[in-house]
Structure 1
Amino acid sequence: MSIPLSSLQSIPTSYASCSIGCKDEHTLPKKLDAISAAGFHAIELSMPDLLSFASMHLRHEVGPYDYDDLCTAAKVVKAQCDAKGLKILMLQPFANFEGWAQGSKEREDAFTRLRGWIRIMEACGTDMLQVGSSDSPEEKIGSDRNRFVSDLRELADALAEHHFRVAYENWCWSTHAPHWRDVWDIVQKVDRPNIGLCLDTFQTAGGEWGDPTTESGLVDKPKEQLEVDWQKSLKDLAKTVPKDKIYLLQISDAYKLKTTLSKEPDESGTRPRGRWSHDFRPLPFEGYLPTVEMAQAVLRTGFRGWFSYEIFDNGPDGKGKDHELIPVAKKAMECQKRFLEACADS
């Protein structure tokens, strides 16, 4: 399928609130100002931002299970977004949900969180929940895909009662579903009309093509084979995933690291691609991943939905950059124009 530039002009744009701003003074209202001023249509509302805003707004510490307070704050955030013409595209990131053993405290906690997050979704006016494929240890959640499917079916059904959707994302450091093929297989088996994919240029290119633990920065296989495998993956994505099962495409690149990361998890248990994701994700064209090729594969499905920027850029050395909100947001919008031009083939 060709990708005429004219067909890309109406693609709506979003920015993940967690990925803009790095200073204490970068409050959620200031982030909203910058994202709106740059011309974005929506935000992904991140729970860490909502927690910080709730504590600031209510003038006491608000915790992740203080759902009454979080709902109060979410209504205020909705009003602020409405005033700026911003949609709240989804609430994120809902993590480590699927796979826990029946009767376990972890499973009970997962469903407690789900009920609380649904309340927050109602309060802030979004209809979509982002769920990342679990990175909990395999010894805790197992490897039986049927268990993951069953849990996500329960989640989708709970959301459907409120006319909500779930956008399931492959985190490239996930224990059981690091690739787009994995989450697409699971979504098909869940077989519910309100579950689809959150695809991500970093998660796919950084999982199948790039690798922060090798000196080359590439997956450890012969380069010719890597390219063959990568192109086949993109062609398969374009041919097999229906456009209406893609709910959004998140956009970011990655730096090639001067010092490779250890293949072992760090002291917090975070795997190398997780550490790479948290600190080394600039805008497209500032890293080295084939982000345009990934986006083209998504566009060749016929998808013309949300492009959402999720940029965690602490510089090539990971030591941080002196970000200011308005210039960062404007730079991302300028990048979007260049990115669409690069994706177009006519």
Structure 2
Amino acid sequence: MSLSLSSLQNIPTCYASCSIGCKDEHTLPKKLEAISAAGFQAIELSMPDLLSFATMHLRHEVGPYDYDDLCAAARVVKTMCEAKGLKILILQPFANFEGWAEGSDERKDAFVRAKGWIRIMEACGTDMLQVGSSDTPEEIIGKDRSRFVSDLRELADMLAEKHFRLAYENWCWSTHASYWRDVWDIVQKVDRHNIGLCLDTFQTAGGEWADPTTMSGLLEIERREMLEEDFQISLDDLSEQVPKDKIYFLQISDAYKPKEPFKNEVGEDGLRPRGRWSHDFRPLPFEGYLPVVKVTKAVLKTGFRGWFSYEVFDGGPEGKGKEYEMEPFAKAAVECQKKLLEACADS
């Protein structure tokens, strides 16, 4: 499919609330101000931001299961967004939902959380829930894909009662679905009209092309040419196999190559290397080393022209934190969007 620049000009843009702000005073209202002033049309509403705002607004500590308080705060966030011309595209990140043993306390908790988050979705006015592929250890949830499919089908049916959608994302450190092929297979098997994909430039390239545990920052296979060939085959398959209407949105970020390779082990925080990498080493495109343009082009070649959402966690090249003011930071993403589309266009 030819990608003319004119065909890409009306792609709507979104910014994840969790990916801007580096100081305590960078509250959710100030984040919304910066995102709106930069020209974005929507936000991804992050649960940590909602929790912080609820505690500040209601003037008492609000926990993740205090759904009455969270819904009250979500209604205020909806009003603030409407005043700034911002849509709330999704609520995120809903994690470690699928695969728990039948009858377990963890499975009961997963569905309690699902019901609570659906209430919050109603309150804030979004119709989409982002679900990341679980990183619960394999020895706990196993690798029986039929169980993951069954749980996600049940969640999709719960969401359908409210005319809501489920955007399923492959997290590249997931224990059972780290590649786009994995989540696409699961989505097809769930077989519900209201489940689709959240694709992500970092998750795709960071899982199939890069590796933070090697000196090169790349997957170490016999020949570099093989890595490039295999990755291009994967992207071509994505373009050909995934229908555009099953892609609900595309998240955009790059990655810094760690100056020192990460240890290839689970950290004290329970995160695998790619999970730690994701948390602090994700700048805007063209500031890292991932083939972000290649991934974006592959998604656009499906015919997708939906939401591009910037989700960056820029802790600097060493991942130790980065001081910045929010408005220029958000405006840099707008300029990056222009540069990215120009790079993706054939003419």
Q: TM-score, normalised by structure 2?
A: 0.99
Partners in 2 of 1:342 and 1:31 — Cα distance? 28
1:300-346: per-residue Cα shift (whole Å, max 9, x none)?
A: 00000000000100000111111211010000111011111001112
What secondary structure, in the 3-state scheme, does the structure 2 residue paired with 1:25 have? coil
Residue 273 (structure 2) pairs with residue 272 (structure 1): yes
| 1:74 match | 74
Q: Which amino acid aligns with 2:87?
A: K
Q: Give the structure 1 partner of residue 58 of structure 2.
A: 58
- Structure 2 partner of 1:21: 21
In the other structure, the counterpart of 2:96 is 96
Q: Report the CA distance between 1:46 and its aligned residue.
A: 0.1
Q: What amino acid maps onto 2:264 in structure 1? A: K
Q: Per the alignment, in what secondary structure is the counterpart of residue 88 of structure 1?
A: strand
Q: Which whole-Å deviations, capped at 9, do the CAs of 1:137-179 have from their partners, x for residues lacking one?
A: 1111111000000000000000000000000000000000000
1:149 aligns with 149
Residue 55 of structure 1, CA deviation? 0.1
Tell me how far 1:269 sits from its aligned partner: 1.2
- In structure 2, the residue matched to 1:253 is 254
Inter-partner Cα distance in structure 1 for 2:85 and 2:328:
20
Deviation for aligned residue 1:233: 0.3
- Aligned equivalents of 1:98 and 1:236: distance in 2? 26
Query: What is the aligned partner in structure 2 of residue 8 from structure 1?
Result: 8
Task: Tell me how far apart the structure 2 counterparts of residues 211 and 324 of structure 1 sit (CA, whole Å).
Answer: 31
The CA distance in 2 between the partners of 1:6 and 1:219, in whole Å, is 36
Opposite residue 240 of structure 1, the aligned amino acid is Q
Q: 1:321 matched to which residue of 2? A: 322
In the alignment, what sits opposite 1:195? 195
Point out 4+ residue stretches in structure 1 off by more than 2 angstroms. none
| Other structure's SS at 1:329 match | helix
Q: TM-score, normalised on structure 1? A: 1.00
Partner secondary structure for residue 166 of structure 2: strand
Q: Which residue of 2 aligns with 1:116?
A: 116
For 2:35, the aligned partner's letter is: I
d(CA) in 2 for partners of 1:135 and 1:22? Answer: 26
Q: How far off is 1:208 after superposition?
A: 0.3
Measured after TM superposition, the shift of residue 220 of structure 1 is 1.2
Determine the structure 2 residue equivalent to 1:288. Answer: 289
Secondary structure of 1:135's partner?
coil
Q: Distance in 2 between matches of 1:4 and 1:60?
A: 52
- Taking the TM superposition and a 5 Å limit, the aligned residue runs for 1:24-39 are 24-39=24-39
For 2:204, the aligned partner's letter is: T
One-letter code aligned to 2:62: V
Deviation at 1:268, TM superposition (A): 1.5
Q: What amino acid does structure 1 have at the position aligned with 2:334? A: M
Q: Secondary structure at the match of 2:213?
A: coil
The match for 1:336 is 337
Look up the equivalent residue of 1:126 and give its one-letter code: T
Tell me how far 1:61 sits from its aligned partner. Answer: 0.2
Equivalent residue runs for 1:167-182 within 5 Å? 167-182=167-182
**Which residue type is aligned with residue 47 of structure 1?**
M
What's the secondary structure of 1:10's corresponding residue?
Answer: coil
- Rounded to whole Å, the distance in 2 between the matches of 1:324 and 1:182 is 38
Q: Secondary structure at the match of 1:43?
A: strand
RMSD: 0.4
Alpha-carbon distance in structure 2 between the residues aligned to 1:343 and 1:61: 46
SS in 1 for 2:148: helix
Pairing 1:46–2:46 present: yes
Question: Aligned equivalents of 1:173 and 1:142: distance in 2?
Answer: 15
| Percent of pairs with identical residues | 79
Compute the displacement of 1:22 (Å): 1.3
Q: Tell me which amino acid in the other structure corresponds to 1:322.
A: E
> Which residue does 1:207 correspond to in 2?
207
| Residue 308 (structure 1) aligns with | 309
List per-residue Cα deviations over 1:80-121 (Å, max 9, x = no partner).
000000000000000000000000000000000000000000
